[in-house]
Amino acid sequence: MQKIEIYDTTLRDGSQGAGISFSVEEKLVITKILDDLGVDFIEGGWPGSNPKDELYFKKVKELPLKNTKIAAFSSTRRKGTLPHNDFFLRQMVDSNADCYCLFGKSWDRQVLEALNVSLDENLLMIRDSIEYLKKETGRPIFFDCEHFFDGYKSNSVYAEKVIKTAHEAGAERVILCDTNGGSFPEEIRTIVGNLKILKNIKWGIHAHNDGCLAVANTLDAVFSGCKQVQGTFNGIGERCGNTDLTSVIPNLQLKKGYNCLPSDGLKNLFKISQKIWELTHSKDRENQPFVGKHAFSHKGGIHVSAIDKAPEFYEHIKPELIGNKRNILISELSGRSNILSKFKDQYPQLENKTIIKKILNLIQEKEKEGLSFEGADAGLELLLREILGFKDSFLQKDYLKISDINFGKKKFSEASLSFFFEGRKKMAVSEGVGPIDALSKALRKSLIPFYPKVTQLKLTDYQVRIIDGHDGTKAKVRVIIEHQFEGTRPFSTVGMNENIIEASWDALVDALKYFILKENQTCLHMDTGY
Ligand SMILES: [Zn+2]
């Protein structure tokens, strides 16, 4: 298997994405998990550009990394300075990184109009910056040719001179950058193909996604001879982002036989993508190829009955190869096959045609009113059990009162509630930062004596959607609440009401009912695929 080096720049180029700012601790966590995954290089930051990056390069030395080399990133020296007097080049040396990535201009117009130096001066800046770093550190240097493809289209002779200069000065890899992200795969293929006349150079590709082609351009660059792929996890990065490594890696490794990661690493791709979404403090992209929660979700009845016969009819790879999972969605569009495919192993009585018709009718009726079970699997299972005649009388709502309290400078909400649990009335009071927080805490508190593990149940997402905006503030709202129990897959429940507190109360009570149900069935301990 041909080795492709994976060079991750989530911490540097990725952090240039809007709304993303990693703390030093978060950068170190990402470094650790990407090292466990087995990526070859992690670009940690730009030494000297901010105090966080300086601290990162100090602290990362204390991490016992087993697979990954840490790279520091910077530009060639400023014009009119000597390398040893250049602040950023000196910071590069001081970072004591395992290797270095220097970028320089390769587009003649950028040299003349943006950098404002002559074409020859730019070549000199590239040459003596690389030679200086090489002499001072003795470590590998990669050279990023910024705007390479635009440069090549403008003046191919000059763009090639830039490459030759970097190579002769001692750069181990020459990285071809589609900095503006506007190139087409065909152009990448032709240009990388033309470069083969330059012998003994090891190439890399660094693409951006402005034309939604970063992954396609990266794959074509690899097929044309590039041995290093630069990109970010989940494709985060400036403007429309960088090449998404979570797509490039499985495409190359599973479909084209290249070796990017150790195979046990590939099985963790879904989990690591989710963890990185969490650390970027952004919502994950559910339809993200390969690693999205819905990348293997099936809704249409025809699709579901077909994948029951052969999953490859509607799945391009086996989801478990990258740690993802097939998911059957149930909605008003669903047919019998969706319900059966999802629940028949647990509830064989669903084979009965009258029962299944009753279930489908009820789902359609509820969805007409505005309830949706598509993102609320747990809520759906409770409904199904009700129709099948199970008596899950764990929790019955009785009374709820929420008060907003202003106590001096302190403002909080207080929930007082009562409910029936296994026939007996229970009461609880709890404070929270807001009404839903107070309600959720009061419910759990009252269950702790019976189910101590309820303290480990975490509320992980809370979504509200207005069903019919024309009714203004009297409109019905649908609340979907996601919970997660100790490293298992999250589950969701749904509530709907004109009153947001009532809708949340319904969804929270259902979540606890589901938790108790699975606790009793000990299923929560079995489903540890997440
Ligand atoms: Zn970039």
Ligand 1 centre distance from Cα of residue 269 (Å): 22
Residue pLDDT, tens place only, 156-180: 999 999 999 999 999 999 999 999 9
Ligand 1 centre distance from Cα of residue 259 (Å): 24
Sign of CA dihedral 390, 395, 400, 405: negative
In this predicted structure, what is the pLDDT of residue 466?
Answer: 86
Backbone angles phi, psi at 90, to 5 degrees: -65, -40
* Interatomic CA distance for residues 485 and 517, integer angstroms: 13
Residue pLDDT, tens place only, 373-419: 877 888 889 888 888 888 776 678 888 899 988 877 788 999 998 88
Higher pLDDT, 471 or 421: 421
CA R_g for the chain: 28
Q: Strand 69-75 and strand 41-45: pairing? A: parallel
**Does 361 score more than 60 pLDDT?**
yes
Ligand 1 centre distance from Cα of residue 262 (Å): 26
In this predicted structure, what is the pLDDT of residue 391?
Answer: 76
**Does 528 score more than 60 pLDDT?**
no
Report, as an integer, the average pLDDT of 194-212.
95
Ligand 1 centre distance from Cα of residue 285 (Å): 21
The count of residues in the chain is 530
| Domains of the chain, each with CATH number or no CATH | 5-261 (3.20.20.70), 395-521 (3.30.160.270)
pLDDT band at 30 (very low <50, low <70, confident <90, very high): very high
Report, as an integer, the average pLDDT of 132-136.
97
In this predicted structure, what is the pLDDT of residue 133?
Answer: 97
Ligand 1 centre distance from Cα of residue 179 (Å): 6
* Interatomic CA distance for residues 12 and 273, integer angstroms: 17
Would you list the DSSP string of 458-478?
Answer: EEEEEEEEES-GGGGGG--EE
Q: What percent of the chain has pLDDT over 90?
A: 62
In this predicted structure, what is the pLDDT of residue 209?
Answer: 98
For the chain, the average pLDDT equals: 91
Which residue is it, tokens 């905006």?
A: 469
In this predicted structure, what is the pLDDT of residue 333?
Answer: 67
User: In this structure, are residues 415 and 439 in contact, taking their beta carbons and an 8 Å threshold?
Assistant: yes
Helix (H) or strand (E) holding 492: strand 491-497
Helix axes 269-279, 24-37, angle to 10 degrees: 170
In this predicted structure, what is the pLDDT of residue 338?
Answer: 85
Report, as an integer, the average pLDDT of 20-24.
92
In this predicted structure, what is the pLDDT of residue 525?
Answer: 38
In this predicted structure, what is the pLDDT of residue 207?
Answer: 98
SS (H, E, C) 284-333: CCCCCCCCCCCCCEECCHHHHHHHHHCHHHCCCCCHHHHCCCCEECCCCC
Higher pLDDT, 290 or 264: 290
Helices (H), 155-235: 156-169, 185-194, 214-223
Ligand 1 centre distance from Cα of residue 459 (Å): 36
Residue pLDDT, tens place only, 204-243: 999 999 999 999 999 999 999 999 999 999 999 999 999 9
Ligand 1 centre distance from Cα of residue 334 (Å): 43
In this predicted structure, what is the pLDDT of residue 393?
Answer: 62
Ligand 1 centre distance from Cα of residue 162 (Å): 18
Highest mean pLDDT among 136-140, 341-345, 423-427, 497-501: 136-140
Ligand 1 centre distance from Cα of residue 303 (Å): 39
Interacting residues of 184 by C-beta distance below 8 A, sequence separation 6+? 211, 213, 217
Please give the structure tokens belonging to residue 184.
Answer: 């087409």
Ligand 1 centre distance from Cα of residue 268 (Å): 26
Ligand 1 centre distance from Cα of residue 71 (Å): 15
Distance set, CA 191 to CA 208, 248, 360 (Å): 17, 20, 56
Report, as an integer, the average pLDDT of 427-441.
90
User: In this structure, are residues 28 and 60 in contact, taking their beta carbons and an 8 Å threshold?
Assistant: yes
Ligand 1 centre distance from Cα of residue 242 (Å): 7
3-state secondary structure of 118: coil
